[in-house]
């Protein structure tokens, strides 16, 4: 039996291109499983249903390797599980070298080559992830040099903060009442008050 697997990252994304590819492969609509969610892991409803259904000798068809997932470590683990434990074949339409069901002299050769190519792709993906993180770090460093601020901007203290602080410090107001007067959340107000109290304590010494 041949099954098709389709994945897009969001509900808004179009699946027509992948769906057309599955129909060209002769896969019936009822044999196609579709997930509209991120590919960061394999905790997906349609994918799990398909895996429960496939049996030894069946074939899973995907348009490209990134439709299976984005995490190449998990892809490798899932690939080995399907091919070696469940004895299911995998066909990647956009990359024939990854197909475990090949026209080689025997299926063992086909699976060996597909495993080898997958390992190479995994290595390339890992290097690219590391390069991307390095580029991000370098970009942040350069942006900071130019005065770019990262993170949520600090909320400025209201004009009446000092007066509210003095009343709070003299126990004339509790934190909830102070927060209402300052027009901020209780947690924000408490952090401001404690910070100011600590600052004033430090200036005594």
3-state secondary structure the chain: CEEEEEEECCCCCCCHHHHHHHHHCCCCHHHEEEEECCCCCCCCHHHHHHHHHCCCCCEEEECCHHHHCCCHHHHHHHHHHHHHHCCCEEEECCCHHHCCCCCCCCHHHHHHHHHHHHHHHHHHHHHHHHHHHHHHHHHHHHHHHCCCCCCCCCCCCCCCHHHHHHHHHCCCCCHHHHHHHHCCCHHHHHHHHHHHHHHHHHCCC
Catalytic annotation present for 103: no
Do residues 120 and 32 both lie within one domain? yes
Does residue 131 lie in a domain region? no
Does residue 61 lie in a domain region? yes
Does residue 96 lie in a domain region? yes
Does residue 142 lie in a domain region? no
Does residue 146 lie in a domain region? no
Count of structural domains within the chain:
2
Do residues 169 and 85 both lie within one domain? no
Residue 121 domain boundaries: 2-126
- CATH number of the domain bearing residue 113: 3.40.50.1390
The one catalytic residue among 9, 102, 103, 122: 9
Do residues 114 and 174 both lie within one domain? no
Does residue 111 lie in a domain region? yes
Per-residue pLDDT tens, the chain, 205 aa: give them: 999 999 998 888 899 999 999 999 999 999 999 999 887 788 899 999 999 999 999 999 999 888 887 777 788 888 888 888 888 989 989 887 778 775 444 566 666 776 777 777 667 666 767 777 888 888 888 777 777 666 666 678 899 999 999 999 999 999 999 999 999 989 889 989 988 888 766 555 4
Which residues 6+ apart lie within 8 Å of 64 measured at CB? 92, 93, 94, 95
Predicted TM-score (pTM) above 0.75: no
Please tell me the predicted confidence (pLDDT) of residue 104. 47
């Amino acid at each position: 039996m041949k099954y098709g697997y389709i994945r897009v990252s969001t509900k808004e994304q179009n699946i027509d291109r992948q769906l057309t590819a599955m129909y060209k492969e002769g896969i019936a609509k009822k044999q196609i499983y579709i997930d509209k969610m991120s590919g960061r892991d394999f905790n997906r409803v349609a994918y799990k249903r398909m895996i429960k259904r496939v049996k030894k000798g069946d074939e899973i068809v995907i348009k490209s390797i990134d439709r299976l997932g984005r995490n190449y470590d998990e892809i490798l683990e899932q690939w080995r599980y399907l091919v070696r434990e469940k004895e299911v074949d995998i066909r990647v339409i956009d990359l024939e070298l990854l197909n475990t069901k090949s026209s080689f002299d025997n299926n063992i050769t086909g699976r060996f080559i597909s495993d080898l190519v997958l390992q190479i792709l995994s290595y390339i993906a890992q290097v690219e992830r590391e390069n991307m993180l390095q580029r991000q770090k370098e970009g942040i460093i350069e942006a900071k040099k130019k005065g770019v601020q990262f993170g949520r901007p600090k909320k400025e203290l209201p004009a009446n903060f000092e007066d509210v602080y003095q009343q709070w410090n003299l126990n004339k107001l509790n934190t909830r009442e102070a927060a209402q007067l300052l027009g901020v959340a209780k947690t924000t107000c408490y952090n401001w008050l404690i910070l100011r109290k600590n600052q004033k304590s430090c200036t005594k010494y």
